[in-house]
Chains A and B, each alone.
Chain A
Amino acid sequence: MTDVPANTPLARRLLRFPRRRRERLRGIPVVWVIPGLALAVALHYVAVAAGGWYAFTDWNGISASARWIGLGNFRELLRNQTARSALWHSLELAAAYVVAANVIGLALALGLHRTVKSRNLLRSLFFAPFVLSPLATAYIWRFIFDYNGPFNGMLGAVGLGGWKRTWLGDPTWALWTVLVVMVWQAAGLAMSFYLAGLQGIPEELDEAAAVDGASMWLRLRAVTLPMLAPAMTVSVALATIQGLRVFDVVMALTNGGPGDATETLSTQVFKEGFAANRYGFGAAFALVLTVLIAVISLTQILLLRRREARL
């Protein structure tokens, strides 16, 4: 953070004033908060509460009033095959994404930490996909996984021609192909969380352990990983939320298909709520997504924090 230089002529002149007279500034009018507060409250509290209400109605977005139908939308959600798959896919993707992005991110961070000469360049290269539009970059992957695309070409070249398939058009594989693209995008972010965490570990600690004869694995397990617990909490919690609400990559790669093989809660919010004009049903999906995110990420943070404290 900045330090205001206290020793400049200007600063000395400013500080000359007696404390008693300076007291007058104490009150900044609270109305200065109003514009920001109004915007934030309207979009984060009022709109979300209203959305919660819509979830219990059958509003279609056109009729003048919405009819309260209680749990009707949620009963349909449980009966509806596509809705059930969407819920399940979101959970599967989120879980696999959290594990894969964090394992790869951690491995990259450990590799890049300290001695490697090109670490700044490498860090930039791995992080870059994260700042680029997930939608735009996903189209490159759609080409790569096309039947005539380079991935199948590579399989053929190394003698695995039998594995060739239309990756994004295959009901079993499409979801995991989407996962690959999500992990490619975000592993750099996990890496940078862990790199920041690694920088906080005093070099002497690691050295002392090495002098005492601790092997690299032991040092990793006993010194490095425990010290990385706070970074892990942040990275895992964030990846969970990103994974649960994945939208862009799915829309670019498969549009939810083939069939409903890659539908997620977010694609259903869009398709039911906006494309099909079933606002009430779409809101029900959004409510499920919201509750999932809230419950899972809060539990996670509490558990991980407790683990942090124990380590």
Chain B
Amino acid sequence: MGLFRYTWKTFTRELVLLAAAAIWWVPFYFLVIGALKPQSEVYTTSASKLPSRLAWSNFSQAWAGTGGFTLGHSLKNSFVITVGSVLVLIAIGSISAYAISRQPKKLGTGLYLVFALGIIVPFQLGIIPTYVAMHHLHINTSYVGMILLHAGLLMPLSVFLYTGFVRTIPRDYEEAAYVDGAGRLLTFTRVVFPLLLPITATVAVLTGVIVWNDFFLQLIFLAGSENQTVPVAIYSFVGEYATNWSLIFATVILSIAPILLFYLFAQRQLIRGFTGGIKT
């Protein structure tokens, strides 16, 4: 049966799709070209025309930022907040899921539902009280505050993903290890947690990208503070750069480079994570 063989029709389809992908990526072409053009050329030449010389200085100027904050400073903030949130989501998410699935049936199901329903509850309504409470505790612009905020908001997702996975691993190993004299906590860290590695990877890439790209929360909590993250920094930079597109584009490239690089290496993991991880 040759139904799914490669025919000239398939070839046409492939060409059409390649053309569509090229159109999809045209914005990135403008982005790279624009970032490398001398600032005077952006408006005087066509957007698709290559730069007359490569103006790398756009990047150093973008890196320097405005208002006393370098882009590097914001990248560091984004990095600390993202990594911190992901670590909390992995540590607390995995242990919560493990404890939930090792409770008597009714209690376990009840606890699971409390987490799972949290995925559905939209968080916008809770942001104002959270802001007020964190302001009172003086952690509204701190790393700790932002990490707790992101980790708390994504905890239902993490617990949901971990619980689904924990249920598939047999209890024999942990029980044997426990009998072997390892305490409960040691049993968890040495025997159970390593078995969770595949789902840990999914939780990490999924929540990592979500936290890194978040703008709504970070704008509300961090705008104007010295802990401002990349999205907040770009938003305020662009306000000052007006229509200096070369500078804006250089800033955009520097800010999306970390995730783009990450995507090059972990695209399968990311696509699978977003496709299988988000749906409930």
Measured CB to CB, the residues of A under 8 A from B are 1-2, 4, 11, 14-17, 21-30, 32-33, 35-37, 39-48, 50-52, 54-55, 61, 108, 111-112, 114-118, 122-137, 139-141, 143-144, 146, 148-150, 153, 184, 189, 192-193, 195-196, 203, 206-207, 210-211, 234, 238, 241, 245, 247-248, 251-252, 266, 269-270, 273-274, 279, 282-283, 286-287, 289-290, 293-294, 297
Docked pose: A108 CA to B126 CA in angstroms: 37
As a 0/1 sequence over residues 135 to 169 of chain B, the CB contacts with chain A under 8 angstroms (1 = contact) are 00000000000001101110110010000010011
Are A52 and B125 within 8 A (Cβ)?
Answer: yes
Q: Is B263 in contact with chain A by the CB < 8 A criterion?
A: yes
Q: Top 8 nearest A-B pairs by Cβ distance?
A: A47-B126, A36-B96, A14-B176, A50-B129, A32-B99, A150-B47, A51-B125, A22-B175
Which A residues are in CB contact (< 8 Å) with B92? 35-36, 39
Are B4 and A115 within 8 A (Cβ)?
Answer: yes
Size bin of chain B's contact surface = 35 or more
Which B residues are in CB contact (< 8 Å) with A141? 27
Docked pose: A58 CA to B101 CA in angstroms: 44
Q: A108-B20, A122-B18 are contacts. A42–B178 as well, Cβ < 8 Å?
A: no
Are A150 and B48 within 8 A (Cβ)?
Answer: yes
Docked pose: A282 CA to B129 CA in angstroms: 11
Closest to A247 in B: B216
Q: Is B56 in contact with chain A by the CB < 8 A criterion?
A: no
Across the interface, A193 reaches (CB within 8 A) one of B20, B98, B121, B275, namely B275
Which B residues are in CB contact (< 8 Å) with A135? 213, 215, 231, 234-235
Are A2 and B168 within 8 A (Cβ)?
Answer: yes
6 contacts between A and B (CB under 8 A): A2-B169, A4-B170, A28-B99, A122-B17, A148-B43, A189-B275
Q: A35-B96, A51-B127, A286-B128 are contacts. A14–B172 as well, Cβ < 8 Å?
A: yes
Which B residues are in CB contact (< 8 Å) with A245? 122, 124
User: How many Å from the CB of A241 to the closest CB on chain B?
Assistant: 7
Across the interface, A282 reaches (CB within 8 A) one of B122, B128, B151, B256, namely B128
Q: A28-B99, A143-B34, A252-B235 are contacts. A125–B25 as well, Cβ < 8 Å?
A: yes
As a 0/1 sequence over residues 165 to 188 of chain B, the CB contacts with chain A under 8 angstroms (1 = contact) are 100111111111111100010010
Are B279 and A133 within 8 A (Cβ)?
Answer: no
Q: A28-B102, A132-B260, A290-B124 are contacts. A40–B27 as well, Cβ < 8 Å?
A: no
Docked pose: A146 CA to B34 CA in angstroms: 14
Measured CB to CB, the residues of B under 8 A from A are 1, 3-6, 10, 13-14, 16-18, 20-21, 24-25, 27-28, 30-31, 34, 43, 46-48, 92-93, 95-96, 98-100, 102-103, 107, 111, 114-115, 117-118, 120-133, 148-149, 151-153, 155-156, 159, 165, 168-180, 184, 187, 195, 198, 209, 212-213, 215-216, 219-220, 230-231, 234-235, 238, 243, 245, 248-249, 252, 255-256, 259-260, 263, 267, 270-271, 274-276, 278-279
Docked pose: A228 CA to B129 CA in angstroms: 41
Which A residues are in CB contact (< 8 Å) with B155? 36, 39-40, 43
Are B249 and A140 within 8 A (Cβ)?
Answer: yes
Docked pose: A131 CA to B278 CA in angstroms: 13
B18, B48, B234, B267: residue with the most chain A Cβ atoms closer than 10 Å: B267
User: How many Å from the CB of A21 to the closest CB on chain B?
Assistant: 5
Docked pose: A25 CA to B175 CA in angstroms: 6
Are B125 and A22 within 8 A (Cβ)?
Answer: no
Are A131 and B259 within 8 A (Cβ)?
Answer: yes
Q: A238-B279, A248-B216, A274-B220 are contacts. A116–B13 as well, Cβ < 8 Å?
A: yes
Q: A28-B103, A37-B111 are contacts. A286–B6 as well, Cβ < 8 Å?
A: no
Docked pose: A184 CA to B27 CA in angstroms: 10
Q: A131-B259, A134-B213 are contacts. A290–B122 as well, Cβ < 8 Å?
A: yes
A43, A108, A193, A245: residue with the most chain B Cβ atoms closer than 10 Å: A43
Are A29 and B126 within 8 A (Cβ)?
Answer: no
User: How many Å from the CB of A210 to the closest CB on chain B?
Assistant: 5
Are A29 and B148 within 8 A (Cβ)?
Answer: no
Docked pose: A59 CA to B253 CA in angstroms: 41
Which A residues are in CB contact (< 8 Å) with B180? 14, 17
User: How many Å from the CB of A159 to the closest CB on chain B?
Assistant: 17
Docked pose: A265 CA to B28 CA in angstroms: 30
